[in-house]
Amino acid sequence: MTRKKIVAATGCPTGIAHTFMAAEALTKAAEKLDVDIKVETHGQVGVENELTEEEIREADGVIIAADKNVNSDRFHGKPLVNASVSRGIKASEELINQILNEEATIHEVKGYEASNANEAPHTETTQKGEKGQGLRSVYNNLMNGVSHMLPVVVGGGVLTALSFLFGIHSANPDHESYNEFAAFLNNVGGLAFSLMVPILAAFIAESIAKRPGMIVGFVGGLLADQGGAGFLGGILAGFAAGYIIILLQFLLKRLPSSLDGLKSIFLYPVIGIFLIGGFMTLFNVPVEALNTALMDFLSNMQSSNPIILGIVVGAMCGFDLGGPVNKAAYLTGTALLSDGNFYFMAGVSAACIAPPLLTAFGTVFFRKYFTEEERSAGMANFALGSTHITEGAIPFAAKSPLVVIPIIMFGSAISAVLTYLFDIQVPAPHGGFLVLPVVTGAFQWVLAILIGSLAGAVIYGMYRKKLAQKTT
């Protein structure tokens, strides 16, 4: 019997860990089920192992395990299973079996033949067993913006943070501690960081309406940034820009096809920028007020209720290990960084670093209760945790999520609470221990992370010991 052929695409917002973990899980599941599979990954360095038109045409089905835009239009006419990247890791066999059992719905893209132009075709796919596809679409559009924004945030944030090594006022030419190189780092990093909101909005819009939406979204993001609406305004501008272009495509679809070029290069940008300008003029003021209220609330909670804030932040970061809840805390931290608040991100970073270290310490202290493969993964997690890659804890959590995830949340919460109590500042949005030179209170920060990680590791190790004793 001829082996079934499946193609897949994986992608997560950061493009660092989930993307490749899902690809590995799907490959292993395909080997087990005697299926040929090729997995295309959409990581931070771009598309790797790219699928060809011939491979897509010959495939018996398609699996998309992604939380970002992976250009699903090219799978028009194929049986397709659409899932989150976390399901690609945890339920890879189930996704493949949906193809094998012919449970996947045919992926239909209206106007696909015209989609090689710059217009965005309308996609309709309803997967059996997948609820809330509308919400997933919104989430994927948002995460497409986030994935493109993160390199700018990290690059700009770290360069700006490095400038503080020369003194907190070293970039100010009127201050006695002024340093020309520090000013250079601060200026370049600040410029890169200032692109955060426009790029976020541009790529949310691009995910919705392809290239025509991108420029309108970028302008909307600039307006949000300059108008004080900040991060929340950028999200609003991105979605508004995308759907403005979708509306224009609907209203202008009766124009002769000979004017398609005119629409793309003239009508969409001119009318789209005009409309997003009017939209943001109306909404900038209320969104700015909401944004300010949210930032003030979080800033006040830092000083008045650091324990409660730490518990909330730690629980969010440990709950889904790089998923939507974790990203909500992380993105709040990056938004506060842009406002000069370096305290909130310190707790977020600590809570994100703790989970992989927790599992790593667990495999060291309770070595005999883990398999050789788990011990190897644990050693790797020392490196992953130290560089702020939370996803290293996922393989451990996936085996007993109802027990392990609460333990991870507990450890992360301890680290976050101690970080806020120690009043630590972390001006860089990523990097883990690599950014220790720019951390205010670096020793206390490492101590907070280690205490949370070790506390969780002991509980996790005791659980594995008890589990082993039950099975013997």
pLDDT tens string 305-320: 889 889 988 988 888 7
Give just the sign of the alpha carbon dihedral 185, 187, 189, 192. negative
Single-letter residue type at 393: A
Mean per-residue pLDDT over the chain, rounded: 84
CA angle 231, 384, 415 (to 5 degrees): 65
Q: Residue 124 pLDDT more than 80? A: no
Tell if the pTM clears 0.85, that is, is over it: no
- Among the residue ranges 17-21, 46-50, 233-237, the one predicted with the least confidence is 17-21
Of 327, 343, 377, 351, give the one whose Cα is nearest residue 150.
Answer: 327
Looking at residue 113, its pLDDT comes to 52
Highest mean pLDDT (candidates 134-138, 181-185, 399-403, 437-441):
181-185
| Domain 5-128 CATH assignment equals 3.40.50.2300 | yes
Q: How far from 2 is each of 36, 60, 77, 92, CA to CA, in Å?
A: 10, 11, 21, 21
Share of the chain above pLDDT 90, in %: 27
Q: What is the mean pLDDT of residues 30-34?
A: 90
Has 352 been annotated as catalytic? no
Q: 6, 8, 12, 149: which is the annotated catalytic residue? A: 12
CA angle 77, 78, 80 (to 5 degrees): 125
> Residue ranges of the domains in the chain?
5-128, 132-194, 210-291, 305-471
Looking at residue 152, its pLDDT comes to 83
Looking at residue 219, its pLDDT comes to 95
Is residue 72 a contact partner of residue 107, using CB atoms and an 8 Å limit?
Answer: yes
Share of the chain above pLDDT 70, in %: 92
Q: Residue 406 pLDDT more than 60? A: yes
